[in-house]
Structure 1
Amino acid sequence: MTASFAIFRKNLSMVLKQLFTAAISLMMFNAGMAQQIKYVSSNNGWNPDSLGNHRAVLQFNGTGQVAKVSIPWRRNDDPAHKRIILQDGATGKKINNVSTTYADRERADISFEPVSGKGIYYAYYMPYRNEGRSNYPKGVYLQPENTADGKWLSASKSAKINTTVKQIESIDSFNSVYPMEVIATPKETAAIIASATNKSYLVFPENRLYPIKMKNRIPYRWIQKGLQNSFSDKAARGEQYSYQLGLYAVEGLQDVQVKFTDLVNYKNEKISASKTTCINTDGIDYATHPFTKTVNVEKNTVQPLWCTLDIPSTVAAGIYKGKATITSKNAAATTIDIILTITNELLTDGGISEPWKQTRLHWLNSTLAQDNTVIAPYIPLTVEGNTVGLLGRKITLGENGFPAQISTFFTPEMTGYTEQPNTLLSAPVDFTFSQPDGGKMVLISDGIYFTKKEAGTVQWTSSSNSPSLEMDVDASMEFDGFIAYKVKITALKDVALKDIAMQIPLTKTAGKYMMGLGQKGGNRPPSFSWKWDVAHKNQDGAWIGNVNAGLQYSLRDDKYVRPLNTNFYLQKPLLLPDSWGNDNQGGVNINQQDSTVLVNNYSGQRSMKKGDTLFYNFTLLITPFHPINTNFQWATRFYHSYKPIDTIKATGATVINIHHGNAINPYINYPFIEYKKMKTYIDEAHSKGLKVKIYNTVRELSNRAYETFPMRSLGHEIYSPGKGGGFSWLQEHVDSDYIAAWFVPELKDAAIVNSGMSRWHNYYVEGMNWLVQNVGIDGIYLDDVAFDRITMKRIKRVLTKDGHPGIIDLHSANQYNKNDGFNNSGNLYMEHFPYLNRLWFGEYFDYEKNDPDFFLTEVSGIPFGLMGEMLQDGGNPWRGMIYGMTNRMPWSDNADTRPIWKAWDDFGMEGTSMIGYWSDNCPVKTSNDKVLATAYTKKGNALISIASWAAADTAVHLLIDWKKLGMDPAKTTITAPEIKNFQPAKTFDASEMIPVVKNKGWLLVLKEN
């Protein structure tokens, strides 16, 4: 009897609790329905630049001079300091007699003069104006104003509600706040919290079509739906499906996790739990390393948990049921039933063609193209003893694991290989350990040990010891000439040191030029000194070398994080390495001693306790990467604009670069929305013999990305933290904690800065692969780069897959300025050079005032096996031709490249050998060392480019080594072909003076008759 009564009481308690919950939900539902407003999207029905993006449509059916309305706008923003503009629907005129008697996020009570009597009126409630640069606008919301006259204002105070709200409109669907940014009121939120059995947090399962956007409030949609302990949806076989679990933390939550069970149908057929993951808690980074994230949720905030499910294509149709359980270290678990109806439809692409369904979130954990396979033109690495061979280069390792010698085998002209090595080092690279008494601590090495010998990667280790210190070296070299060193220094006992330094002794020949560490590209200064200043300078290394032999190095530690670049360095600068920086005591000294250029990278005085460790990590790049492909330069001609195919073909261009901000690639770094138009354009281009490349890089991302809010749910993993602001859409929807980037006014395309290295790079690789395979792009145009060489290699692999050309050109504005941290574009992006086909440097590169060797090292790409083009102010065509560079069609109005292209074709540039002024083998010089010459030679012909850096107009003799040129002077004519806007037609005798205008030059054809 007692047991039965206990069961009865328990059941009664459960029933009463359920009735109470239902009553609360019904009460909230009815209350909500009474206030429910219709939300609609206009078709750009007004000018947002003067009225904002949102309005309430009001219906006045009363009489008199005062209309009063209560607008339940449910806004996520703070309306306190934002103007409300009333407009007469009949005339479109602004109404001056307006009074706001109450306004908060929930509602506004407004009185206004109905100037046209009964009818429609509009209340615009977020008007703004754009200030600042057009491409970096600052949306400033207008302050409230008082325009009502006193008499009307006095009469309005006694007015009663006599106007209704017909609907709330947004300027277009993209600006709509419905439904996920229509807030629940505080009362509604409190009521739904009270209805929950577990008050630590609430879970709201949500469909993928409604990304959770607000962080500090729950949407009214959840009030309408009420609390639910299950989630149901439909999906297709083979689909990359996703859904959300929205957490609202009543109390702060620590270490939130999600656990999944198998999904099982009535036949006990299963979709394994391993097919489901939560991208907020687990993932695979851009370098294939699995990781977990600690998700903490602050009190009174919302955290979306995005769950992705790979549905097997072989699964049977039917209803599958499973569970998702949310756990937290400081709260009870909550289980949500997952009910998924699998239809008979089979998606062969995983649903990728419908990205608004968040089918591409799976790309965030992609490992596509990660195997370090050798990429053409590179060849597999070889190991013979302690010597590693690669394309055109060799490195011999010392017993301590550091380079004992580095050699290249490129000709001075960079057109091929030589058997005679170009040695870079006059002595082995070594670490020195200086003691306070001036002595040197000697570490004895136990030898080098190779741990991997593969075609793409060779790895080795070495350990060196003294009684006080141990140095462990772990290094790897890749097929393109990149070497990464992890150097761990451990104190075996307490020790005081005057300095720990790495010395790189270069030969005088290999140390001719320098770029980096605050030094602009050009001849290396006789002596050089540099100190760390990461707060202001994006400097941690330099390139030192010659045209056919060089070395770039960068100093890092185990905490290295790639900084932001391109205007944003100061917002996320380098971290000072604990080792090399040593509280800013470290630095670099470079001095020439006889035939050696000694690069001394010191860290200064320090003490180490027994067991302390320091990481003196560094990277090396051996340059050049490959010979120059001059034929590619002459035959591959970029047209950098979206124009009709026939128009472009008529110019002689062979490759079309499609920027963003146009009909087929409208949104920056998100070329997926108009891909059908893009494919149609590319198909036509291919049919007419042209290739098409598109703008797509990583640095900032359009707000049009379907995945914007799922990625925002990842915290700062993909989007960088910042002060917010910028274009109105960002302020109204992203809200805060971001950096506003490039903006295209015509398309209202507002970008957000990426954080640096993240899973977005996995998405980027997958996206590029999809564009190659499905749209047919022939390559990409990179506008600066915010990813590292790992991602670049992956990109090159997918772009060249299945025989696709995979052309990549890199544009950069000159990074040597305050906002970019005074780095050199060439030095900053050198790790990407092995995979580029051309450089385009760029805005703020001064082609008039800089020395020739600045062109050679910073602009031309020649010391790295590349060639380039000019941009700023159309470039200098005479100086450019010294390096084989032109401008790019049709980017500059004052530099039409077609006449020079015609001159190339008339001469027959393909098949020529380029022998520049920098080579001792150049067969032509001038009598003025400020007027330089480069020869483009082939049997019986030569095209000589001369250009002046002289301070004034001058005249020069050609100094021709006819034997080197391989031509008979008695049979050779020298003519200047007419080239529009470049030079008039003229014939010269070999002995006569050639006039050269300041900053200009000639293209001279030498032909043996």
Structure 2
Amino acid sequence: MKRILFFVLLTWVGLSCAKTSSQAPYPYGVAESPWSEALGNHRAVLTVDEPAEAVMLSFDWRRPDKEVDNRRFLVVNAVTGDTISNIKRIAVDNEQCKLIFGPVKTKGTYYFYYLPYQVQPGYGNYNRGYYPKEDAPDRQWVETSASAGQLPEAKIVRVESRTDFDSFYPMEIIASAKEKNDYRKAHPGRFLVFPEDRAFPIRMKSQVPYKWFQTNDHSTFKATAMPNEYYTFQLGVWNGKDDLKSITYKTEGLKSGNHIIPAKAITCFNLEGVNPAGKPFTKIVGVSSDAVQPLWFGIDLEENQPSGTYKGVIAVSDETGYSVPVNIELKVSGKPLADRGDNELWRHSRLRWLNSTLGITDKPTSGYTDLSLDDNRISCLGRTVGIDMQTALPSSIDSWGHELLASPVRFIIQTSSGEKKLNGTIEQTGLSEGKVSGSWKAEDDDLALTCHATMEFDGWINYIYSIEPKKELLVKDIRLEIPLKSEASPYFMGLGLPGQETPATYSGGWETKGKTVHDYAVSIPTSKSTSWLWPFDSFWCGSEKAGIHCELRGASYTGPLLNLYRPAYPESWYNNGKGGFRIQRNGSRTLATAYSGERTLNAGENLTFDFALLITPVKKLNAHSQFADRYYHNGGAPTPTEENLKAGIKIINVHHANELNPFINYPFITAARMKDFVNEWHGKGCKVKIYYTIRELTNVVPEIWALRSLGDEILQGGRGGGFPWCREHYVTDYTPQWYQHLDDQHLGIAADASVLTATGDSRWYNYYIEGLAWMVKHVDIDGLYLDDVAFGRDMLKRMRHAMDDVKPGCIIDLHSNTGFSRGPATQYAEYFPYVDKVWFGESFMYDEMSPANWLVEVSGIPFGLMGDMLHGGGNKWLGMQYGMTVRQPWVTEGVSCDPRYIWQLWDDFGIMDAKMIGFWEEKPAVTSSDKEVKVTAYVNEGKTLLSLGNYSGDKKQVKLTIDWKQLGLNPSSVRMVAPAITDFQEAREFTPDESIPVDPKRGWLIIIK
């Protein structure tokens, strides 16, 4: 396996054992075995023919990276390991390095290391860097060297990289300025085009590879492909002195006798594609002066493509009409490729995934029912919305038999003359199994108002209002009012507030300032007094029976507000800071208002207000799965032990940064190894899910250079820096992200160094969906572990459809960190219809959280989900109030998580078959005499398990009030036993009317039978 993986990586970087001098000024190679990482990734192997006080080195190194004169130089004896004590720099720039070193006491081989860096074990953000420049040489040695006359010269035997993956050869060996000028004189034109094989991805943006200048004729590209292959190649555009505003291409396809490859089968990924919504688009691509722009092409060969040499022309043009034709000769032969080439990463055939529409459909995903439309009522799973036919807004919202609204929802335009009375007529514009849509129009003398509305099968409703004034108009306010029944909305979360009981009054702007760590009961690496700004765009209000989530949309990015992606606010709602939110709780009515404030609208100016509602819970609670499907989650050690298996684990989460899944968000490198693991654990009755998301992307992706060629569409730009590999190869225009040192255990790669991906219309979303389906089909994984991801709900729908099509029943669990995405239950609410479980635990301070905070922000219960605890091992006593434990054997904040003893009690009691009656219910089965001690009951036939939890900081003595009818027990013949549970409680027996002591922040598990 190791040999196979080595070959795959070798192919990516375009290396071969036979290095030819035609592609570089020296022989280039890879070390027989990697040297110490701290010495850097590159060296020159030198020979010195005789001892000397000083030796001259002239090295035509042709480097692509920056600050080449600001790195430490080391000259080391290859035999003894001794370091030469003096180095005097003569001339150092990107093209050459000229220096003197000495004294050299013995002849022989020496290594010149010119990029040594500080190794950083562990993970997180790489915050070290290159070693500073070496000390100045000894003054006396310099004087002696200067008077020595002509110095002996070190000979460069070869240039080596530490591993294949580190090499600059051949595509990052730069041409000199003189070579570029000479080539330009010999080949005039506004720009030049260099065909290039997929084995040699064009890497440099502002330099030209030396390799290109070793051949004068670049007018023809010849290659070989197989039927059914998706064949890829490149055309590199090297611009002249004038900026190119736009480049394009034209082709009439390829022909071989009477057989053709039509033009429509040829795609340039840089200039055209399909966005994540499935809509085709074209791109304007410019090229700066003296810059290089790769154009990646794909040729879609049919399965029965006849053999032959297909010839044609691809002409690249600029905005002036200047054109450079390239002759294409593609020889098609052999048997059809069964997988289009996808299983061999070096082929780059997966680039076609960038334009995939897989999973885009209106059909309901598994577990949901078709929408039904009855007059003005639209129903989906468990929920029904009544539509006001004059406003198109909800007049009633029933969730699982519970009405939410006190009166109809209103969208109000208020001028100096008062509230506009705009009534129109709804026109249905679409109806399918999973979506119903309509439009609504109204107008008066001042303005025209249009609304497009959509409701989908998961209970998501979207309204987009377009306001077009007919004249200049002073608007006092434009706002959304959601009047809720107070009895149906006891809890609130969002808009700067953590999960809590709904406040009597609250007002907030688009940013919340001055909240401290304690206010949020979270752990953040700042002092307790630190304040910060945190943007919001959504809120939720309701109960575990019924609720409504509202998101104010229209920003440059719609999705979870991670601290990596701070969006520009929606111009309409934000209104230069005049917009905001307020809640007013008055008797039986609770009014939630999103307002935009005063503004002047100009005639003909279009203003759009976009908002979405999600009715919760999105599904029925699956408590049986929560207690039966137990998780094994261990980042560095993904393989469970027999002890873990005996404890009842049923689902294994394979994190990244381990031997099975070493590289973040690209699990394909070790897919064969992963498949063996999946097969083994399927045989033991366990499901296997993997960490695979989008937010950042490892540097080992074979297509990384094709992705870089797309500008900032997929890889977000930035100031660079980070791990040395990124500085040496990306050089500029990237944002470093997750770093994981790998200790050379994976293909010789020292570290997994990721960069930030872009959001919005990134076609990496399309690739991701195809990659997910591929992993389910070829590796047989059972789903995903998502960790603070950043995309919209449409992606979750596509993911579900893609997995359902291959393997119904796949599982998604979602993790988030409240210090990273403030209020993850709010930020990720639109994911909940497609998620099976939440793990909102990192940075939560469980001992400081109120019962309402636990219920709304951590447990998942109000949304139809259940969850696990994380930070510091959670609070095992309070967690049982919500059916939550930690995951085995995750270690967090130095605490090893071991829920086995509680799991054993679950099994002994049979909790998976019990009915869960929480303390939050309207009629709980058991209550305590103290409001700070809550009781959740798990009711089984003939027995009940009580979870008592003391949320206060004081020891309590409580008596229980028990609804024996709900428990189905006779109080005269029951025993109340608290069984002994290791690290939880000692054995004890109580009577029903006995006072029970409960320690602060702790509790009891008591069985009544």
TM-score normalised to structure 1 length: 0.92
What does residue 416 of structure 1 align with?
none
Q: Distance in 1 between matches of 2:224 and 2:699?
A: 28
- Alignment match, 1:26: none
Matched, 1:924 2:912: no
Q: Does 1:513 align with 2:491?
A: yes
Q: Cα RMSD over matched residues?
A: 1.8
CA distance in 2 between partners of 1:906 and 1:783 (Å): 33
Cα distance in 1 between the residues matched to 2:41 and 2:556: 43
What CA distance in whole angstroms lies between the structure 2 residues aligned with 1:121 and 1:74? 20
TM-superposed CA distance for 1:894, in Å, is: 3.6
SS of aligned partner of 1:95:
coil
Instruction: Give the alignment partner of residue 151 of structure 1, picking from 120, 124, 140.
Output: 140
1:256 pairs with one of 205, 227, 247? 247
Whole-angstrom distance in 1 between the partners of 2:438 and 2:603: 27
d(CA) in 2 for partners of 1:561 and 1:205?
37
Q: CA deviation at 1:579?
A: 1.3
Matched, 1:719 2:718: no
Letter in 2 for 1:970: S
- When residues 43 and 930 of structure 1 are mapped into structure 2, their CA distance, relative to the original with a 3 A threshold, is farther
Shift of 1:342: 0.7
Question: Are the equivalent residues in 2 in contact too, given 1:395–1:403 (CA < 8 A)?
Answer: no
- What is aligned with 1:431? 411
**Separation in 1 of the partners of 2:937 and 2:994?**
19
Q: CA deviation at 1:978?
A: 1.5
Please show how residues 619-630 of structure 1 align to structure 2 within 5 Å.
619-630=612-623
Q: Which moved more, 1:326-335 or 1:776-785?
A: 326-335
Residue range with higher mean Cα deviation, 235-244 or 138-147: 138-147
| 2:184 corresponds to | 193
Post-superposition offset of 1:785: 1.4
1:464 aligns with 2:442: yes
2:800 counterpart of 1:796: yes
Amino acid at match of 2:197: N
SS in 1 for 2:846: coil
Structure 1 644/520 Cα, relative in aligned 2: closer, same or farther at 3 Å?
closer
What does residue range 832-851 of structure 1 map to in structure 2 within 5 Å?
832-851=831-850
Shift in Å, 1:835: 0.9
Q: Which amino acid aligns with 1:862?
A: I
Normalising by structure 2, we get a TM-score of: 0.92
Q: What is residue 962 of structure 1 aligned with on the other side? A: 964
- Aligned equivalents of 1:35 and 1:442: distance in 2? 76
Secondary structure of the equivalent of 1:152? Answer: helix
**What is aligned with 1:605?**
598
Distance verdict in 2 for CA 1:501–1:34, change over 3 Å: closer
Aligned pairs for 1:470-869 (under 5 A) are 470-533=448-511, 536-557=533-554, 560-562=556-558, 565-569=561-565, 573-641=566-634, 642-644=638-640, 646=642, 648-746=644-742, 748-757=751-760, 758-815=762-819, 820=821, 823-869=822-868
Please tell me whether the aligned partners of residues 404 and 547 of structure 2 are also in contact (alpha carbons under 8 angstroms): yes
Question: Quick check: 1:175 aligned with 2:163?
Answer: no
Look up the equivalent residue of 1:106 and give its one-letter code. E
Q: Residue 94 of structure 1: SS of its match in structure 2? A: coil
CA gap of 1:318–1:161, structure 2 versus 1, over 3 A, is farther
Q: Map Cα deviations across residues 770-803 of structure 1 (whole Å, 9 max, x no partner).
A: 1111110011100111111111111112223344
> Which position in structure 1 is the counterpart of 2:209?
219
Cα 1:256–1:647 change in 2 (3 A) is farther
Aligned to 1:910: 912
Q: Tell me by how many angstroms 1:593 deviates.
A: 2.5
Amino acid at match of 2:772: M
- Please tell me whether the aligned partners of residues 51 and 105 of structure 2 are also in contact (alpha carbons under 8 angstroms): no
Q: Distance in 1 between matches of 2:608 and 2:509?
A: 19
Q: 2:27 aligns with which of 17, 27, 38?
A: 38
Give the Å deviation of 1:34. Answer: 11
Q: In the alignment, what sits opposite 1:129?
A: 118
Contact 2:399–2:616 under 8 Å retained in 1 = no
Verify the 8 A CA contact 1:931 1:946 in the aligned structure 2.
yes
Deviations 1:153-183 (A, max 9, x none): 1232344352100111111111111111110
Q: Report the AA paired with residue 262 of structure 2.
A: S
Q: Deviations over 1:293-326 (max 9, x none)?
A: 1101100100000001111111111111111111
User: Corresponding residue for 2:327?
Assistant: 337
Q: Match of 2:481, SS? A: strand
- Please tell me the residue identity of whatever aligns with 1:433: I
The answer as to whether partners of 2:507 and 2:580 remain within 8 angstroms in 1 is yes
> Quick check: 1:448 aligned with 2:445?
no
User: In structure 2, how many angstroms separate the alpha carbons of the residues matched to 1:563 and 1:920?
Assistant: 33
How far the C-alpha of 1:409 sits from its partner, in A, is 4.2
Shift, 1:959, TM fit: 1.2
Q: Would you say the 8 A contact 1:254–1:330 is kept in 2?
A: no
Map 1:12-411; keep pairs closer than 5 Å: 36-49=25-38, 51-78=39-66, 79-129=68-118, 134-157=123-146, 158-197=149-188, 199-250=189-240, 251-265=242-256, 267-410=257-400
The letter of the residue matching 1:188 is E
Q: Structure 2 CA distance, aligned partners of 1:679 and 1:433?
A: 58
Count of paired positions? 953
Contact 2:413 2:478 in 1 (8 A): yes
Offset, 1:35: 7.4
**Aligned equivalents of 1:188, 1:138: Cα separation in 2:** 38
**In 1, Cα distance between the equivalents of 2:461 and 2:713?**
27
User: Residue 458 of structure 1 contacts residue 477 of structure 1 at CA under 8 Å; is this kept in 2?
Assistant: yes
Structure 1: distance between partners of 2:575 and 2:897: 50
Contact 1:88–1:114, Cα closer than 8 Å, also in 2? no
Is 1:139–1:725's contact at 8 Å kept on the other side of the alignment? no
- Shift of residue 139, structure 1, vs aligned partner: 4.1
* Counterpart AA for 1:443: L
What is the alpha-carbon distance in structure 2 between the residues aligned to residue 32 and residue 254 of structure 1?
37
Contact 2:560/2:791 (CA < 8 Å) preserved in 1?
Answer: no
8 A Cα contact 2:24 2:170, kept in partner: no
- Please report how far the alpha carbon of residue 227 of structure 1 lies from its aligned counterpart in structure 2 after TM superposition: 4.0
CA distance in 1, matches of 2:195, 2:685: 52
**Distance in 2 of aligned mates of 1:700 and 1:153:** 49
Q: Distance in 1 between matches of 2:218 and 2:626?
A: 63
| Unaligned residue ranges in structure 2 (runs of 5+) | 1-19, 513-531, 743-749
What is the rounded CA distance, in whole Å, between the counterparts of 1:149 and 1:177 in structure 2?
Answer: 33
Secondary structure of 1:444 counterpart: coil
Q: Is the 8 A contact 2:52 2:104 kept in 1?
A: no
Q: Is the 8 A contact 1:716 1:755 kept in 2?
A: yes
Q: Decide whether aligned partners of structure 1 residues 803 and 35 sit closer, same or farther in structure 2, where only a CA change above 3 A counts.
A: closer
